[in-house]
Homo-oligomer: A and B are copies of this chain.
Amino acid sequence: MPADAATRDQQQPGHGTKPFRVALISTGGTIEKTYDELGGVLANRVNVLDLLLASLDLHGVVIDRVPLMNKDSLDMSEADHDLIADTAELMARNHDGVVVVHGTDRLSKTGDRIHERLAAKGGATRAIVLTGAMRPFEMKRTDAAQNVTEALLAVQILPVGVYVAMHNRVLRFPGVVKDRALGTFVRAAT
């Protein structure tokens, strides 16, 4: 058993009774886009993640919300990716796990950056799970609630590491890319 897994012993499924403490870092993306009636467009202006969370029954986790930014990830600068990675690393120190809600277009870039940062410091000590959505939570048909549900469950039961959880699939960084034709994440061809 690797050393860093030892820290998760008390959270093993079926053993602990303390709630699992998650930092939920939100950065924007399609999942949080809302409809602007005046302009007739979808934009990242209001935070809808709290509505999404209120629609779920969450008995396994206690969530600390960290609303970091609200951006279409195509508009993220290098400094934005750094800020998210720094925040994820920081939150992993005093939580049992970290979830990052992110636009899908640059999600892989942030995932890789978190992975590199943690690798340079001796590896992850918690599970850090990124997720997003292809259709805004405000739409009738949306993958937003499903994907956040998956990330919040996966972060409790995955081994330490950096992952994307979306569309009922979990993939470990590095080596994850968005397949634009499929509209989901896949393992990069090697």
Residues of A within 8 A of B (CB): 1, 13-15, 17, 30, 33, 35, 37-38, 40-42, 55-61, 72, 134-136, 138-141, 143, 145-146, 149-150, 152-154, 156-158, 161, 163, 165, 167-173, 175-176, 180, 182-184, 187
Contact = CB atoms under 8 A, between A and B. Distances in A.
Number of copies: 4
A59 B185 CA distance: 9
A175 B139 CA distance: 34
B58 A167 contact: yes
A157 B158 contact: yes
A143 B35 CA distance: 13
Can you list the 7 inter-chain pairs with the closest CB atoms, starting with the nearest?
A14-B172, A60-B169, A59-B167, A13-B170, A57-B167, A60-B168, A58-B168
Given A14-B170, A38-B183, A56-B168, 11 more contacts: A13-B158, A13-B170, A14-B176, A55-B141, A59-B167, A61-B168, A61-B169, A149-B149, A153-B153, A153-B165, A157-B157
A51 to B, nearest CB: 10
Contacts of A55: 141
Contact of A134 (B37, B58, B161): B37
A125 to B, nearest CB: 18
A124 to B, nearest CB: 13
A176 B61 CA distance: 18
A146 B56 contact: yes
A57 B143 contact: yes
Given A13-B171, A154-B153, A170-B156, A37 B187 contact: no
Given A13-B158, A140-B139, A154-B157, A168 B42 contact: no
Contacts of A165: 153
A127 B7 CA distance: 23
A163 B57 contact: no
